Amino acid sequence: MADSGNYRCIFPLLQSQTSIIELVVDPVLKDRTGENIPGTAPEPYISTLEDRNLWSLLQCEAHGVPRPTLKWKDSDNNTLPAAKTKISEREGRFYITVKITVTKTDNYRCVATQETLSHQVVAVTSVHVQRWVIGVIATSGALIFLPMCYLLCYITQLCGRQEERW
C-alpha cells in the first residue's frame, strides 16, 4: 500500500517520451486463508440477537489490526448510538463488538473503518418491526373497555333514576 502514488516512465528510444501513471493499490488484500492482511478494514458480521414485535437487538462484530472502528447507520446514513461496545485484544488482534436496539423497519448498516487508509467495508441487514401489534392491543382493549363503561354508565343512570323515585 505504501507503493501507491504517481510514477514516471521514460522511453529513451522513443525520443525521450515520458508518461505518468498513477498506481492505486487496493487495500483489501487477503492471505491464503481468506483473512484480511493487516492494515485493511475487516469485514463486519451482523447477527440478530433478539427479534421482538416492537424492536430488534442487532450485533456487529469485526476483528483486525490495527484496531478498526465500527458504526451503525440507518438507510438515511444517520449514525446511530450504540447500546453497548466491547473491545478486546488477543494475540495482537483487536476484536470489536457493537450492539444496537432498533425500533423501526429499515435497512441497517454496520460500517467497519480502518482509519489509517480511510478504507471501509459494510455489512447490511433488514429489520421489519411489526408496529400493528400496538393497534391490535389498543383496539382489543378499547373493545373490552368501552362496553364496560357503557354498562357502568347505564347502571349508574338506572340507580340514579331509582334513587329519585324513593
* Terminal-residue alpha carbon distance, the chain: 99
Is the pLDDT confidence value at 61 over 90? yes
Q: What is the mean pLDDT of residues 82-90?
A: 88
* pLDDT at residue 81 tops 70: yes
**Domain assignments of the chain as residue spans, ordered by start:** 29-130, 131-166
> How do 106-114 and 119-127 pair as beta strands?
antiparallel
164: confidence class by pLDDT, cuts 50, 70, 90: very low
Strand partners, 112: 70, 121
Q: What is the mean pLDDT of the chain?
A: 76
Q: Tell whether the model's pLDDT for residue 65 goes beyond 60.
A: yes
Beta-ladder partners of 72: 80, 110
State which fold the 29-130 domain adopts.
Immunoglobulin-like (2.60.40)
Q: Give me the pLDDT at residue 6, please.
A: 84
Closest CA to 49 of 112, 116, 106, 98: 98
Residue 137 reports pLDDT greater than 60: no
What is the arithmetic mean of pLDDT over 86-115?
Answer: 92
Confidence of residue 136 (pLDDT cuts 50, 70, 90): very low
Which pTM does this prediction carry?
Answer: 0.57
Q: What mean pLDDT do residues 116-144 have?
A: 69
Give the per-residue pLDDT at 39: 59
- For residue 4, the SS3 value is coil
Strands (E), 115-165: 119-127
pLDDT digits (tens, 9 = 90+) for 2-39: 777 888 887 777 766 778 887 766 555 555 666 655 55
Spacing of C-alpha 57 from chain mean position: 10
Q: What is the mean predicted confidence (pLDDT) over 68-85?
A: 91
